[in-house]
Amino acid sequence: MLKLTKYELRKNLLGIGIVAGIICVLQALFMFFCLTENINYTSLFGGLLIIAASVSYFIVFIFGVVTYYRELSSKSSYLIFMTPNSSLSIITSKLLYTLIIGIGISAIFIGFGVLDIFMMAGVFGDLADALKNFSEMLKIMGIDVVNIIINIVAGIISFLIAFFFLISLAYFAITLSSTALQNNKIKGFISVILFCVLAYATIKISSLLPELYKNPDSLSQALMSSLPATIFQLLMVVACTFGSAVLLDKKVSL
């Protein structure tokens, strides 16, 4: 399975390189204008980096889903799915590739974010004072900065799990539509409809599950707070992965 994951990484190396290149250019421009003390352009490219973080995940999602759909639709897809590897290994490797990319993007932006904050605090002295005053103001209002950081970290982890869950759901929707409409031209449209219906239903169920901690005081509590929803999403990932593999083995004509 690790070999298949490496294959997925190599196959998508150009797309990964383009996204990484754009991010590095934006970061370089941010650092340049920060060091030259141009607050306007520093703010501009800081905002663009934040937008780039969201867009990067969207690109990974779309690219992964479109690639999988084309592989099932292509007459040459047997080259992938008729190898000695099982359908489950192939699907899992695609999900693992997506998870690696998602974690990689998060690590890059977190690293850049920490670096940028320290750089701005060092270059713009007033910014460091402003952040300190803002922190004191939050304390007076009864808002703990540490709790905010904890919730941000927990939010990133929850987001990665939800992102992984949506990818597996999209794969299942594509495989399901390929089962029912193997040679029909509208199966791509049906895949989108199926994904939207399944995503809405599962997200609705997930939102109805209880939160264990309303006001978490630690990272462990913040993660435990949404544990029921997280377990549900992970179970759905397993169900969608096995479901897609079974359909590929028994129903989809490649």
Same domain as 222, residue 237: yes
Q: What angle do CA 213, 232, 85 make, to 5 degrees?
A: 140
d(CA 227, CA 205): 14
SS3 labels along 123-189: HCHHHHHHHHHHHHHHHHCCCCHHHHHHHHHHHHHHHHHHHHHHHHHHHHHHHHHHHHCCCCCCHHH
The tally of domains found in the chain comes to 2
Same domain as 215, residue 182: yes
Same domain as 122, residue 3: yes
Same domain as 248, residue 203: yes
The answer to which of 55-59, 128-132, 192-196 has the lowest mean pLDDT is 128-132
Domain boundary among 143, 171, 206: 143
Same domain as 20, residue 119: yes
d(CA 3, CA 55): 28
The answer to which of 57-71, 75-89, 116-130, 200-214 has the lowest mean pLDDT is 75-89
Per-chain mean pLDDT for the chain? 76
d(CA 178, CA 186): 10
Local confidence band at 222 (pLDDT 50, 70, 90 cut-offs): low
Same domain as 249, residue 190: yes
How confident is the model over 91-95, as a mean pLDDT? 81
d(CA 185, CA 226): 40
The answer to which of 22-26, 103-107, 151-155, 175-179 has the lowest mean pLDDT is 151-155
Same domain as 159, residue 102: no
Which one has a higher pLDDT value, 195 or 178?
195
Q: What pTM was estimated for this model as a whole?
A: 0.72
Same domain as 149, residue 136: no
Same domain as 138, residue 197: no
Domain boundary among 127, 143, 159: 143
pLDDT, position 212: 74
pLDDT, position 44: 85
Same domain as 183, residue 105: no
AA letter at 91: I
pLDDT, position 87: 76
Strand, coil or helix: 217? coil
Same domain as 155, residue 139: no
Domain that holds residue 192: 145-254
